[in-house]
Amino acid sequence: MSISPHPNFAQHLIAWHKQHGRHDLPWQNTRDPYRIWVSEIMLQQTQVAAVIPYYQRFLARFPDISSLALAPIDDVLALWSGLGYYARARNLHTAAQWVVTCYAGNFPQRAIDIESLPGIGRSTAAAVAAFAFGEQGAILDGNVKRVLARCFGIAGYPGEQAVQKRLWALAEALLPETQIEIYTQALMDLGATICARGKPRCDHCPMQALCVAHQTGRTAELPTTKLKAVLPLRETVFLILQQGGEVLLEKRPASGIWGGLWSFPEIEPEAILQTQLMQRFGVEAQRAKALEPLAHTFTHFHLTIRPLWVETTTPLVSKPGQVWLTLEDARGAAIPTAVRKLLDQLSIHYR
């Protein structure tokens, strides 16, 4: 079934945005591709309100692409700590190095070239090219998929290849001949502020008169949701080694969850504790206590963390990939949210 885009879709959207859209976000009102790119990466799977303080701190520390490229990855991850999806930060750092090396520090201007950088897909590349350079190109992030699916009555889970192909074709057919920057931002804003997933504000929507989902009472059905799989449950034991006011953190492998971040070491619960302490960490335990379990959910599984606090008596010795830090310095390191929560507990109960 072919889709005939409404001829006034773009015009309605642009007119609505001029009066009701968002105009004062920290990454708006600039043509700087670096600042736009950083914001687009941070906004992937993350709400605007959560991104703003991270964005501001990140730009204060890394004001341009050269400063980001030259920074140690630990510094980049430390400023990303708590924002989640840490592969974004690692890709951002690698892409900055690519731009410095391959483009002499000048951010590529065409979407096709931007998409070749690590961590950038078709939609993000088009958004950066539109906002920074005025290039005509369609975007199709989660918010836009929802707007188009509802407005044009497209059923099926948007993650399926056939449905996504239809949505891309529609997104391209709807592009206006001018004002691509306003149109692109308007699409994002409509999905984020009006055409919300749970409680869409249809009475305030400029597309109400032509929206198929609204006219047919299918707003709650579209877009079709993916059947939720039951997430598997996993468990791990975090070993919190503390001597005086310092704790031991261990750098995680670059791949996998929390890749490249500093974390409490994971240990085998069935193995003899003292043997693990001596062989792996070169310490002895003076006393130990099991702390309250901590639940943490990832995209593909639930994780139960069972923290084991151990006070050690041996001198502080750091092996490669390990570091002893004060609780304050540990909170400032590149750590995942779960570790930060445990450090907060230690600050209260185990000073």
Per-residue pLDDT tens digits for 138-184: 999 999 999 999 999 999 999 999 999 999 999 999 999 999 999 99
> Stretch 263-274: mean pLDDT, rounded?
89
Active-site hit among 40, 160, 177, 268: 40
Q: Looking at the structure, give the CATH architecture of the domain made up of residues 233-349.
A: Alpha-Beta Complex (3.90)
- Fold type of domain 9-215: Endonuclease III; domain 1 (1.10.340)
Per-residue pLDDT tens digits for 38-75: 999 999 999 999 999 999 999 999 999 999 999 999 99
Residue 283, pLDDT score: 87
Domain spans in the chain, listed from the N-terminal domain onward: 9-215, 233-349
Which percentage of the chain shows pLDDT scores above 90? Answer: 84
Which of 27-31, 153-157, 220-224, 255-259 shows the lowest per-residue confidence on average (mean pLDDT)? 255-259
Show Cβ contacts of residue 99 under 8 Å, excluding neighbours closer than 6 positions: 65, 69, 105, 106, 107, 108, 117
Amino acid in position 219: T
User: Does residue 160 have an active-site annotation?
Assistant: no
pLDDT over threshold 90, residue 250? yes
Residue 270, pLDDT score: 82
pTM of the model: 0.89
Residue from 190, 212, 217, 209 nearest 201 by CA: 190
Residue from 161, 186, 153, 156 nearest 13 by CA: 186
Residue 5, pLDDT score: 61
Which of 22-31, 38-47, 106-115, 280-289 shows the lowest per-residue confidence on average (mean pLDDT)? 280-289
